[in-house]
Homo-oligomer: A and B are copies of this chain.
Amino acid sequence: MPHKAAPFDALDRKIVAALMENGRASFAEIGTAVGLSSTAVKRRVDRLRADDVITGFTATVRPAALGWLTEAYVEVYCDSAAPPRRLAEVVRNHPEITAAMTVTGGADALLHVRATDVEHFEEVLERIRTEPFIRKTISFMVLSHLLPDSPEAGARQPSPAHEPRGESLPTQRTGHNRP
């Protein structure tokens, strides 16, 4: 057995919660919060990372501040036998797609797309629709967020593989982080 089922206890949960609330909290700080020494916290965090419970640390960013003013969800309908694998390839070709998943319901997949503005979004959409086996798309533009720190609001922005206009925007398309 390669991985033993990590005994994820209440202490781990508190540590994870502390790190989700403040990803730069010091081990000592977390320690006093959960009742451990800093080194004990570090060991547990190391283990949580090794077990891929914690997959990384990131700054949360306000996309609008970086020029990503437009956001939409796009339902994708594929030709008959569209293998998810091929869809995954397609999705990776468009850096503006910040999340993509297969879903139940009429559509085959749901994409989350960020663009600098509506014009840019239209360009992205056209690009997606020219992909081989994509039959149809239905878009929902995001108007306003009802929760302050929704994941979509900050976690990831697309890379400016080819920046759409004028100024280049910060990269990203994160993989994992090793501190």
How many angstroms between the C-alpha atoms of A172 and B162 in the bound complex? 33
Find A58's partner among B58, B87, B91, B172 (CB 8 Å cutoff). B58
Q: Is the CB of A16 within 8 A of B66?
A: yes
* Any B CB within 8 A of the CB of A149: yes
Chain B residue nearest to A105 (CB atoms) is B140
Output the least CB separation between A53 and chain B (Å): 4
Q: CB-CB < 8 A to A152: which residues of B?
A: 99, 101, 112, 151-152
User: B8 near A169 (CB under 8 angstroms)?
Assistant: yes
Q: Which of B23, B156, B162 contacts A151 (CB 8 A)?
A: B156
Quick one: copies of this chain in the complex?
2
Q: In the bound complex, how far is the Cα of B22 from the Cα of A52, in angstroms?
A: 15
The yes or no answer to A51 lying at the interface (CB within 8 A) is: yes
Q: A17-B160, A151-B152 are in contact. Are A62 and B57 (CB under 8 A)?
A: no
A11 to chain B, nearest CB (A): 10
Q: Beyond A105-B138, A147-B91, is A55–B60 a contact (Cβ under 8 Å)?
A: yes
Question: CA A142 – CA B161 in complex, angstroms?
Answer: 28
Q: Looking at the complex, which one of B8, B102, B160, B175 makes contact with A146 (CB distance below 8 Å)? A: B102
Q: Which residues of chain A in 42-64 are interfacial with respect to chain B, using CB atoms and an 8 Å cutoff? A: 51-62
In the complex, which residue of chain B has the Cβ closest to the Cβ of A171?
B17
Q: Mark contacts of A1-23 with chain B using CB atoms, 8 A cut-off: 1 yes-contact digit, 0 otherwise.
A: 00001111110011011011111
Given contacts A16-B170, A54-B60, 5 further A-B contacts (CB under 8 A): A20-B159, A53-B65, A73-B110, A84-B146, A148-B175
- Which residues of A approach B to under 8 Å, CB–CB? 5-10, 13-14, 16-17, 19-25, 51-62, 65-66, 73, 84, 87-88, 91-92, 97-105, 107, 109-110, 112, 138-157, 159-163, 167-172, 174-179
